[in-house]
Amino acid sequence: MAATSTEAQYVTFGLGDECFAVPVVVVREILDHQDAFRIPHGPDYLLGLRDVRGQGVPVIDLRLRLGMSGTTKTPHTRILVIDVPIADKMLTLGLVADRVFEVTSFQHQAIESAPDIGVRWPSEYIAGVVRRESGFVVIIDLAKLFSSSDKVSLMGVGRSVSEFAAV
């Protein structure tokens, strides 16, 4: 089913018992989980780098970034390779998800604003919430998920590995 101007498509995925979503337009591909090449002195949520079609992509444990316990790898664990526009650059990241559910459409009017209280994650990371029969889907605001210094560091990590690989 094609999205109309009154709806948008999202990729839904699970972290623990929670359901999250990101816009399908930012998802480049979904990969099986593989351990990343560790980078010393990075933030705790930076698992390392993964080669994605010749590009060094920083892999983020989204559970840790959102203040949850770290990911435990299972046969269902996936990496969502996303392209996030940040200012005049594109930040490519791999986000580790416990499992990926589906691509689905949400009506714009069904997306509620983020609640200010009662959630485990800082509300500035939440673009909206959608109610479903099975519970809530939290839409992540990817541009706000990382601080300015995080963005600069993560862009530098991917670039430095790509340059190193070219030598």
In angstroms, the CA 100 to CA 146 distance is 22
**Which domains, and CATH codes, for the chain?**
7-166 (2.40.50.180)
From edge to edge, which strands make up the β-sheet containing 55-61? 27-32, 78-86, 89-97, 55-61, 46-52
For the stretch 17-74, pLDDT in tens is: 999 999 999 999 999 999 888 888 888 899 999 999 999 999 999 999 888 899 999 9
Mean pLDDT of the chain: 83
Q: How many C-alpha atoms does 143 have within 13 Å on its Cβ side?
A: 9
Q: What is the H or E stretch that residue 157 is in? A: helix 148-166
Confidence band of 142 (pLDDT split at 50, 70, 90): confident
